A and B are shown apart, each in its own frame.
Chain A
């Protein structure tokens, strides 16, 4: 590994969990890799998200990638030499009323027809057993028992360190300014000089649209800042992660007693300044949802709130796979506030596609071409 290395088989742009995972899996397949990150690995969405490791309630197009990832999460320590703080106590989608519950039934029935069985209906009694603190009025829900949560920055950095130990060159604090073709290679122009590779992966998260535009594939990427808040430690009262069907909420108590409240209310991102602004009136709505659902939480002190900078696509699905325009360019961005769980598996699938040209994991519907069909 050399800090001065300027060319490799693959250049990965972006050091989030996706970039780091892809770099690691490429290195495992014997490819030489340079990863270029403008800040430090996991600085943005990958390091500050809620850490949910969730198969529950995913869009059908993402389920194969999510399943691949989940298998990896359950053996994560063997892969990256760090348990990444992963715990698996399940995730529960709580139905707040009968209409919610009916929607849940239809969803699970549809998944069963498609051959997916990770989501199961639970009735009010089982819901109360699993989540005793939930409000009495909730009639049931859906559980995904192998789901859980991990520590985001730690997980991302574990992938980075493992990639490095396998020979990948990680360049942090290096900003990509332009990408251009140079004979058989791609020239990645940065504020620390040029890098060359025959293949590049665009995993630049909220900044990926700029890379895509350079490559002649502009995409309608929206920069978002999903907000989260966390409480001081409370007595243990809930094990699984809880999400809702009707309202925006993601709710998780950690082993140390702190409770994470998320769910996707958005602050204001200022991506050129690496800054986000919180919107307390919207956080107050999350607080109101928790007030309704978990009376035990009402006096809890909130000690911190924050937001990451994320990319969102118009259909809330990632852009994943080979470029529609260049055979040697691969896109892996736009995870729309639910990409953390997908990182380990998406990296494995991407590396397989780069190394072998194909993968058995279906990624239909995630192609960048869905935004560029007019050409």
Chain B
């Protein structure tokens, strides 16, 4: 691995640029470099690992039991990448991607590192930008003291920090139990776990149980769940949540089976599962479909994780939620695909080398469907029923405003909604409000999320400062092209 410390050290172009240094990106970059491609792995974080293996090489958390054995498995993936010939640019943001009009079939990527921007070329691109937490707007979720479970996990992994005071964890999904046990092991005072998994999901998930019984998740999941239930105050069947407090969080109120409860707390961690992070693939022009079982937009990919834009592949959870171990395998398969498209590997050789990885991937994905069906969020947490609930934090747009625009002004899709209410136009670039806006429009108009569509996203995929952009090195051709 060649570390890149300043933007001048980047080559003019690479055979392959991989975006994101989680398990998928690390594995894709390592494999592609092993196959003889010139590879750049660009990642925003200071150290490799992505979210799931975040700070695995640098974490101050030394007691391995706190984060669990699965976490430390990331060290092997990082080590393999470090042995490879790939270039690695940490703290580097890729903010745009577009076709290189001078070299058809290739791409131009805009990158920023240490306050400077550059545009470089890539013949192939693998997006390994992973997942994000599903937005979970409840009344009061913008109060200081309320954060997402994932944010708490990042603080734990990267800084060894835990929430101070009484902490309530609320929501649904496997990560909820994992985080509860990690935080408890690290000494956090967990007042309660409020589980919003709809009880009706169990019957919907029944058909997927046989696969789940043979899956690697089963034993781990059961153990996590039982431990959490045994050691912590656990409230299941929660149907409504409200955070209250003046200036900062004071209590969380919930409903369960027609009863209401109130818990005083200092921190509320919200989590409603994870969904593919689609901003990059969407802005790159890749086609997306609405996956009904994962209840999320997922880029359309083929068996090699190639998107509908030739030359762009999407590996890992960004191409559909499959978990960390499957992400690493999908990264490898995507790398075989890219190498083959570049002519570095015959199709027969590609198929042969990828075969055992595919077998392993099938094994890892077994049981996934059960988790998707069981942990599908309840409708009232996807489309907040109370009008005053803020759904776009950047522009302070409420659920009621979106419903009103959809009903009274006849706004039919999220792109029109942007123009009317500005939701999706703030610094988060729609990451937080997008899925909720779609749900609210679909609900109001009696259609489905698939029919409603999603934001048409535009670069920069991550904000870039005016100063970085203004100092972008110019080519002579582009200076001339301006004078029309």
Contact = CB atoms under 8 A, between A and B. Distances in A.
Interface residues of B, number: 39
B112 to A, nearest CB: 11
A278 B458 contact: yes
B5 interface: no
A291 B409 contact: no
A278 B283 CA distance: 11
Given A279-B478, A298-B467, A303-B427, A47 B419 contact: yes
B458 A299 contact: no
Contacts of B459: 278, 280, 304-305
Contact of B419 (A153, A277, A285, A305): A153
Contacts of B412: 40
A61 interface: no
Contacts of B471: 284
A256 B466 contact: no
Contacts of A282: 478, 481-482
Given A152-B419, A306-B458, A299 B465 contact: yes
Contacts of A232: 426-427, 463
A231 B420 contact: no
B101 A268 contact: yes
Contacts of A153: 416, 419-420
A281 interface: yes
A302 B429 CA distance: 11
B121 interface: no
A275 to B, nearest CB: 7
Given A232-B427, A290-B466, A305-B458, A266 B484 contact: yes
A299 B467 contact: yes
B416 A40 contact: yes
Interface string B407-441: 00110100010011010011101000000000000
A281 B475 contact: yes
Interface string A258-283: 10000001101000000101111111
A303 to B, nearest CB: 5
B427 A278 contact: no
Contacts of B465: 298-302
B110 A280 contact: yes
B466 A303 contact: no
Contacts of B463: 232, 301-303
Chain A interface size, as a band, is 35 or more
Interface string B459-478: 11001111101111011001
Interface in B224-266: none
Contacts of B470: 284, 287-288, 290-291, 298
B96 interface: yes
B422 A304 contact: no
A157 B409 contact: yes
Interface in B132-179: none
Contacts of A284: 469-472, 474
B458 A301 contact: no
A353 interface: no
Nearest to A156: B419
A154 interface: yes
B96 A280 contact: yes
Interface in A128-153: 151-153
Contacts of A124: none
Nearest to B478: A281
Nearest to A43: B415
A152 B412 CA distance: 17
A265 B482 contact: yes
Given A47-B419, A281-B478, A306-B458, A287 B429 contact: no
A303 B426 contact: yes
Nearest to A273: B285
Contacts of B419: 42, 47, 151-154, 157
B427 A280 contact: no
A15 to B, nearest CB: 13
A161 interface: yes
Nearest to A282: B482
Contact of A303 (B410, B460, B467, B472): B460
A297 interface: yes
A49 B125 CA distance: 31
A306 B457 CA distance: 9
Q: Which of B416, B460, B470, B474 has the most CB of A within 10 A?
A: B470
A293 to B, nearest CB: 11
A287 B112 CA distance: 15
B466 A300 contact: yes
B36 interface: no
Contact of B410 (A151, A161, A233): A161
Interface in A2-49: 40, 42, 47
A300 B463 CA distance: 9
A350 interface: no
A266 to B, nearest CB: 7
B410 A280 contact: no
A256 B422 contact: yes
A207 B464 CA distance: 34
Interface in A182-206: none
B119 interface: yes
Interface in A302-332: 302-306
Contacts of B410: 161
Q: Which of A256, A280, A300 has the most CB of B within 10 A?
A: A280
Contacts of B464: 301-302
Interface in A164-219: none
A301 B115 CA distance: 12
Q: Which of B119, B465, B481 has the most CB of A within 10 A?
A: B465
A29 B119 CA distance: 54
A230 interface: yes
A233 B96 CA distance: 21
Interface in A234-274: 248, 256, 258, 265-266, 268
Contact of A299 (B99, B426, B466, B474): B466
A373 B458 CA distance: 42
A176 B427 CA distance: 38
B469 A287 contact: yes
A281 B472 contact: yes
Q: Which of A152, A232, A266, A284 has the most CB of B within 10 A?
A: A284
A287 B420 contact: no
Given A47-B419, A288-B470, 13 more contacts: A153-B416, A154-B420, A277-B101, A280-B98, A283-B469, A284-B474, A285-B478, A287-B466, A291-B470, A298-B465, A303-B427, A303-B463, A304-B458
19 contacts: A161-B410, A233-B427, A256-B395, A277-B101, A280-B98, A280-B119, A280-B472, A282-B482, A284-B472, A285-B474, A298-B466, A298-B470, A301-B427, A301-B463, A301-B464, A301-B466, A302-B466, A304-B425, A305-B460
Q: Which 9 A-B pairs have the closest CB atoms?
A: A153-B419, A281-B478, A301-B463, A284-B472, A287-B469, A287-B470, A291-B470, A232-B427, A288-B470
Interface of B: 96, 98-99, 101, 108, 110, 119, 285, 395, 409-410, 412, 416, 419-420, 422, 425-427, 429, 458-460, 463-467, 469-472, 474-475, 478-479, 481-482, 484
Interface of A: 40, 42, 47, 151-154, 157, 161, 230-233, 248, 256, 258, 265-266, 268, 275, 277-285, 287-288, 290-291, 297-306
